[in-house]
Amino acid sequence: MKRLYRSNSNRMVAGIFGGLSDYLNIDATVLRLLFIIGLFFSVFTLALVYVVAAVIIPNEREVH
């Protein structure tokens, strides 16, 4: 079963798009670009979604 985590290795700010790209098998750059484009249309909503995701989604577990 796939689990959604914030990425420790593929992160720019909080690792949301790195973890989401691993979960969805999409390049993180595509997700980041879609987010930036979406900011032009709805700044408050997407910024709020990102902050909530950064708080709710746990960090990637380190495998030892």
Q: How many CB atoms lie within 10 A of CB 3?
A: 11
pLDDT of 30 over the 90 cut:
yes
Amino acid at 9: S
DSSP state of 6: B
Residues in the chain: 64
Here the tokens at position 7 are 């990425």
Give domain limits for the chain: 1-64
Weakest mean pLDDT among 5-14, 17-26, 54-63: 54-63
pTM: 0.65
pLDDT of residue 62: 52
